[in-house]
Chains A and B, each alone.
Chain A
């Protein structure tokens, strides 16, 4: 497999991972809203913390892709 194709596969995997984490965050928002309406305040802090951690993971994944792109631009195309 070529390096370019490997990169494309890796980026697709990262994209799917980011999308999956966003879906989990949607579920967390629904659970937090449900707990808020049921006055179950004990659930709210863990869900908020988990949502922030997932966002940090997403930001980290995006940052890794961008830094990879940046390095690629600096090195230039390699024949």
Chain B
């Protein structure tokens, strides 16, 4: 008997074997459990309340210089967003939460992108679609309107 066999003795006659049929039963039970979890997720998703998207003034129009950005929160205080103005003066607003692992994206006006520094993800600053890195879903767009001198957020487009 080698040293490791002395240190870690295995008594095969006392060991409990699982038959293939028991394994099949166990896997099918797990399959039922997973199906239940999936149905539960669908139920939660379909019945939970969608957060209201009230019209909220987020900045003054002249607060954002061409190539600049302003951070705000919409529709709740827990939803960070970014308002950007490109070099041509066009305004766009997106959720600032990366769709990969929820890091905050930053504006890179020279590349017209919103970059996630955590995993080098990159989104278009024009329409929010993913351009590079791990993200596969676009950034939610925040709908904005100009009312007088104020920029008002009016909704979220996922």
Contacts and interface: CB of A to CB of B under 8 A. Distances in A.
A48 interface: yes
B21 A25 contact: no
Given A22-B34, A55-B35, A58-B28, A32 B20 contact: no
The prevalent SS among residues of B at the interface is helix
B41 A18 contact: no
Interface residues of B, number: 24
A26 interface: yes
Instruction: Give the interface centre of A25, A61, A69 by most chain B CB atoms within 10 Å.
Output: A25
Given A12-B20, A25-B34, A39-B158, A44 B42 contact: yes
A39 B20 CA distance: 40
B50 interface: yes
A31 to B, nearest CB: 9
Interface in A1-52: 11-12, 14-15, 18-19, 21-22, 25-26, 28-29, 32-33, 35-36, 38-41, 44-45, 47-48, 51-52
B132 interface: no
Given A18-B27, A21-B31, A35 B45 contact: yes
Nearest to B30: A22
A29 B42 CA distance: 10
A62 B38 contact: no
A39 B50 CA distance: 9
A72 interface: no
Interface of B: 20-21, 23-25, 27-28, 30-32, 34-35, 37-39, 41-42, 44-46, 50, 99, 137, 158
27 contacts: A11-B20, A15-B23, A15-B27, A18-B24, A18-B27, A18-B28, A22-B30, A25-B34, A28-B34, A29-B37, A29-B38, A32-B38, A32-B41, A33-B41, A36-B41, A36-B45, A38-B158, A44-B42, A44-B45, A52-B39, A54-B31, A55-B31, A55-B35, A58-B27, A61-B28, A62-B24, A62-B28
